[in-house]
Structure 1
Amino acid sequence: MNHTAEIYHVHHYSFGTTFEDGHTHRMFGTTTLGIARGNTHVHHYYGATTLDDGHVHYYRGVTGPAIYFPGGGHIHYYQGVTTFNDRHRHAYAGNDSPSCP
């Protein structure tokens, strides 16, 4: 498999945060192009959560390595913590959608 050529794609993600201080937020966006890491790749992602309870949180991170499907395609795992706003923060974890050319 040519992992160098494989990195020229992005992923869309959409998942929720943990329930803190009486509410949750949603996170959605598109990753950067892939970044080669050994025989796999990762993506950077960043953004702001939805506006809930009168505020937003910011987040940024690097996906986990590619999780390949037997029939082709792959996804990535996300995990992290948002910025501290309005006296609290939220954790998040989830998978993205299959890659987009």
Structure 2
Amino acid sequence: MRRKRQKQHTHSIDFIRFADTPEHIHAYSTRTSFNNGHRHQVQGRTSGPYQGTGRGHVHYYEGVTSFDDGHVHYFRGWTGPPISLPGGGHYHTFAGDTTLNDRHIHSYRGRTSEGYR
């Protein structure tokens, strides 16, 4: 018995848009405040974008500070909405406080890179 050849049914998806900007992440790097005689480095990469509250998308970030003065701190938070750059692209600001360790915390603030995939 000969089988009848079925036509192939396909769909093409170029990308799925989860926020107002296609999937991308940002690198970030900044120093903490100087507390208890030292400071730490805060750096990493954000998550992909999440739809914000009407002012554009935001990104989640978290990590562990550099090891200084015999300890580390943890940090996490959400970036602010995108800030457009003159030639296209954008960056985000971020700020927060680290976890309490060795009886102190550190504050940090900075801006992400322009973004990349």
User: How high is the TM-score relative to the length of structure 2?
Assistant: 0.81
Rounded to whole Å, the distance in 2 between the matches of 1:63 and 1:86 is 27
- Consecutive unaligned residues of structure 1, counting only runs of 5 or more, are none
Q: Secondary structure at the match of 1:13?
A: strand
After TM superposition, where is structure 1 displaced by more than 6 Å over at least 4 residues in a row? none
Deviations 1:61-95 (A, max 9, x none): 00000000122000000110000000000000000
Specify which structure has the bigger relative contact order, considering alpha-carbon pairs within 8 angstroms and separated by 6 or more residues. 1
- Consecutive unaligned residues of structure 2, counting only runs of 5 or more, are 1-16
**Does the Cα contact within 8 Å between 1:3 and 1:40 map onto a contact in 2?**
no
**Does the Cα contact within 8 Å between 1:40 and 1:65 map onto a contact in 2?**
yes
Q: CA RMSD in A?
A: 1.5
Q: How high is the sequence identity, in percent, across the aligned residues?
A: 48
Higher mean alpha-carbon deviation, 81-90 vs 29-38, is at 29-38
Match among 27, 36, 58 for residue 42 of structure 2: 27
Aligned to 1:79: 95
Aligned length: 100
Query: Match for 1:10: what amino acid?
Result: I
The 3 A distance-change label for structure 1 pair 7 and 41 is farther
Flag the structure with larger Rg.
2
Deviations 1:29-73 (A, max 9, x none): 000000112251000000000000000000000000000012200
